Amino acid sequence: MTNLFIRKLSRRVRMSDADIEALSAATSKMLYYDADHDLTQEGSKPEFAYVILDGFACRYRIMQDGSRSILAYLVPGDGCDLHASILTQMVHSIGTLTPCTVATIPYRVIKELAAYRPNVYLALWWSVLVDESILQEWLVSVGRRSSDKQLAHFLCEVLTRLQAVGLALEPDYRIPLKQSELADTAGLSHVHVQRVLSDLRKAKLIEVGRKGLVVPDLERLKAFAEFKPDYLHLSHLDEAPPPPAPLDLANATKDDFEKRFGRNRSFRDQNP
Amino acid sequence: MTNLFIRKLSRRVRMSDADIEALSAATSKMLYYDADHDLTQEGSKPEFAYVILDGFACRYRIMQDGSRSILAYLVPGDGCDLHASILTQMVHSIGTLTPCTVATIPYRVIKELAAYRPNVYLALWWSVLVDESILQEWLVSVGRRSSDKQLAHFLCEVLTRLQAVGLALEPDYRIPLKQSELADTAGLSHVHVQRVLSDLRKAKLIEVGRKGLVVPDLERLKAFAEFKPDYLHLSHLDEAPPPPAPLDLANATKDDFEKRFGRNRSFRDQNP
DNA sequence: CGCTCCCTTGAAGCTATTCAAGTTGAGTGG
DNA sequence: CCACTCAACTTGAATAGCTTCAAGGGAGCG
């Protein structure tokens, strides 16, 4: 059994069949949520990491004046807060934007993977680093791009990320984002977002519908937005295998692991 | 031998004497740079991670139109790009803002620490996660805070981070940042930054000098900026995170409630 | 002394926000 | 089936916030 998350990671980090089996077991518990449902809330100390398998979610913060700031979109195949357990508490919330299918991974299982599946653990870190890279690009967008290019850039990013996991390949795919959500992402008012989208529509770069946006020609939109996908680090793995990353955790034993994932060569057997 | 970086990490992650020795050896090679010197450049694949021991540096990107976007400040005790080797290439540059003393760590050594010093490796990851948390706060700042509170918030953060490693404790400490650097951080023009700082000076919140800014009363500035340091994750290893204050549900206002439990919709778009 | 780098100030104009008033389309109940 | 409702989208007008252009000032340095 596999899923979008595993397929995405296995294209970036070399993993054995046993690695993939372990990751598959870790993400097998699925939950279904409606739109506008919070998975975790600011100030809490969650016990699970999440993997989005279907639907759109986001990280967000509510400011003192009630306005919302969206910090990240989570699309199918994305993990979120895979390592938040290292930090003391969440400083933002995670909520669904559309109905979502979500896999949960208890942090205890992540610790086990850290101890016995170094390549899986490395893959999870890869995912965290890509998130950080996206965050940097968003900061650039909000700080330095004009509002039309900024919105176009977001749309290019979302489509590119979806296409990287085999979704949204058809040119009439509707991005299920509301204008108010784009506004809270870009730090603009919803009125201004409407006017900018209007202009993009007049330029035939997008089509605006009631339930989302359609990008008929992604390449043209990319050219307009000066979109360079390097920061998504999507290139296929082609180099030497990445460094092993074992973590010796006191509360996970080899026995625990084998009961859960079956007998396999542990990290210690294959590495000094 | 020890340094600011090691002292900072050892307060967050439990490390043995041998761990600290290993980390100390890894950061023992020091280099000295002038101001405005690039440590790494966009597009390169560096062989070293850096630790700032003295001076200010930053991550930045130069846009197509020549403007600069500052993505992070690196102050003494900060590591940078500790795990960039997992990703394929740098998508931003790192440059000094003042003369700097810098320790270099070859990625080869980080691999060794990963294999033999799990707690050290965990500490490095802690540092990466805090960087990401700061990045999120900056995105909130640039997107949703008014320009005066935004600049005040940056100054509070820099001083709080410095004080966390025992620096900038005296009330006449001069933050060595130029107005143009603040502008490139906040995504504002240097002219506007000058006017906003002027206002803050009139309100006696800061003092502006030729070679930097002075914050005579940090607590007052924090109050103005609504600065909450949680996102810096500074609490000591042995300190429990502060328990949330009890909320009187019967008498709580909508605001109280939402501050605590969040809300998954934009308020900005609704009539107050 | 004069040069350069920053900081400062003024004025004009553009961009984005706010307030306010529609419009549209999907869902709901009569 | 049609009226009603509601959320999302649209449009206009007034104004606030920010940028740009332009010019001047002051400290440090060769």
pLDDT in tens, chain A (272 residues): 689 999 999 998 999 999 999 999 999 999 999 999 999 988 888 888 999 999 999 999 999 999 999 999 999 999 998 988 888 788 899 999 999 999 999 999 999 998 899 899 999 999 999 999 999 999 999 999 999 999 999 999 999 999 999 999 999 999 999 999 999 999 999 999 999 999 999 999 999 877 889 999 999 999 999 999 999 999 866 444 444 444 333 333 344 433 333 333 233 233 32
Whether the CB of B24 is below 8 Å from some CB of chain A: the reply is no
pLDDT at site A247: 39
* Other Cβ atoms closer than 10 A to A269: 7
- Contacts of A142 by beta carbon, 8 Å cutoff, 6+ apart: A150, A186, A187, B139, B142, B143, B187
CA-to-CA distance for B148 and B143, rounded, in angstroms? 13
C-alpha distances out from residue B73 to A19, B60, B173, B174, Å: 37, 9, 17, 16
Task: Look at residue A117 in the predicted model and tell me its pLDDT.
Answer: 92
Side-chain half-sphere of A256: how many Cα atoms within 13 Å? 13
Is the domain of A19 the same as that of A74?
yes
Query: Two tokens at B185?
Result: 């951080």
In the prediction, which pLDDT does A53 show?
97
What are residue A214's DSSP bridge partners?
A174, A207
List all residues 6 or more positions away from B18 whose beta carbon is below 8 Å from its beta carbon. B117
Find chain A residues with C-beta within 8 A of B16's C-beta. none
Report yes or no: B190 and B177 within 8 Å, Cβ to Cβ: no
Nearest-nucleotide field for A177 (CA, C1')? D8
Q: How far apart are CA A221 and CA B140, in angstroms?
A: 26
Please indicate if any CB of chain B lies within 8 Å of the CB of A48.
no
Cα diameter, chain B:
60
In a domain, residue A257? The reply is: no
What's the domain range around A205? 145-238
Q: Determine, for residues A122 and B86 on separate chains, whether the beta-carbon distance falls below 8 Å.
A: yes
B115 occurs within a structural domain = yes
Residue A251 lies in a domain: no
Q: What distance in Å separates residue B268's CA from the closest CA in chain A?
A: 5
Residue B226 burial (10 A CB sphere; 0-12, 13-18, 19+): middle
Same domain, B216 and B114: no
Question: Cα–Cα distance between A223 and A215 in angstroms, integer?
Answer: 13
What residues does A219 pair with on adjacent strands?
none
d(CA B253, CA B272) in angstroms, rounded, equals: 14
Per-residue model confidence (pLDDT) at position A1: 64
Query: Is position B80 within any domain?
Result: yes
- B110 and B192 assigned to the same domain: no
Domain identity same for B8 and B109: yes
**Residue B149 shares a structural domain with residue B107:** no
What pLDDT, on a 0 to 100 scale, did the predictor assign at position B69? 97
Last residue of a domain, one of B85, B102, B128: B128
Rounded-to-integer distance, Cα B136 and Cα A132, Å: 9
The confidence score (pLDDT) of residue A191 equals 97
Distance CA A48, CA A109 (A): 9
With 0.85 as the threshold, say if the pTM is over it: yes
- pLDDT score recorded for residue B210: 73
With a CB cutoff of 8 Å and minimum separation 6, the contacts of A2 are A20, A24
Best mutation site among B264, B270, B271 for testing chain A: the one with the most A CBs within 10 Å?
B264
* Set of chain A residues whose Cβ sits within 8 Å of the Cβ of B135: 132, 135-136, 139
Domain harbouring B2, CATH code: 2.60.120.10
Instruction: Kindly state whether residues B50 and B110 are assigned to the same domain.
Output: yes
B106 with B43, same domain? yes
Tokens of B179: 């107005």
Q: Count up the domains in chain A and report the number.
A: 2
Contact B262 A136 (CB under 8 A): no
Instruction: Read off the tokens for B25.
Output: 């050896």
In a domain, B194, yes or no: yes
Q: Is A136 exposed, middle or buried (0-12, 13-18, 19+ CB in 10 A)?
A: buried
Per-residue pLDDT in tens (0 to 9) along chain B, 272 residues:
689 999 999 998 999 999 999 999 999 999 999 999 999 988 888 888 999 999 999 999 999 999 999 999 999 999 998 988 888 788 899 999 999 999 999 999 998 998 899 899 999 999 999 999 999 999 999 999 999 999 999 999 999 999 999 999 999 999 999 999 999 999 999 999 999 999 999 999 999 877 889 999 999 999 999 999 999 998 766 554 444 444 443 344 444 434 333 333 333 333 33
Q: Which one of B102, B128, B154 terminates a domain?
A: B128
Question: Which tokens is B27 given?
Answer: 């950061």
Contacts of B263 (CB under 8 A, 6+ apart): A62, A68
- Does residue A49 lie in a domain region? yes
| CA atoms of B53 and B56, how far apart (whole Å) | 9
Q: Dihedral sign, CA of A242, A246, A247, A252? A: positive
**Do B7 and B97 fall within a single domain?**
yes
* B164 and B93 share one domain: no
| Interface A-B: count of C-beta contacts within 8 A | 177
- Give chain B residues 209-248 with Cβ within 7 A of strand D: 210
CA-nearest of B206, B106, A32 to B194 is: B206
Q: Can you give the pLDDT at residue B243?
A: 43
B258 falls within a domain: no
Sign for the CA dihedral angle at B46, B52, B54, B60 comes to positive
DSSP A145: S
Q: Which residues touch strand C (CB under 7 A)?
A: A 146-147, 187-189, 191-192, 195-196, 210; B 178-180, 190-191, 194-195, 197-198, 208, 210, 268
Domain end (from B101, B128, B155): B128
* Residue A226: inside a domain: yes
Does B12 contact A at CB distance below 8 Å? no
pLDDT digits (tens, 9 = 90+) for B257-267: 343 333 333 33
Residue position matching structure tokens 């090679």 = B29
Token readout for A43 is 């100030």
Mutate to test the interface with A, among B92, B135, B232, B234 (most CBs of A within 10 A): B135
Facing B114 at nearest CB: one of A92, A143, A245: A245
Helix (H, G, I), strand (E, B) or coil at B136: helix
- In a shared domain, residues B81 and B176: no
Chain B's closest residue to A124, CA to CA, is B86
* A103 and A39 share one domain: yes
Q: Are B111 and B160 in the same domain?
A: no
**Strand partners of residue A54:** A101
Per CB-CB distance under 8 Å, the chain B contacts of A61 are 136, 140
Q: What pLDDT sits at residue B238?
A: 54
Closest-CA residue of A relative to B13 is A86
* Eight-class DSSP state of A231: G
**Domain CATH number, residue B222:** 1.10.10.10
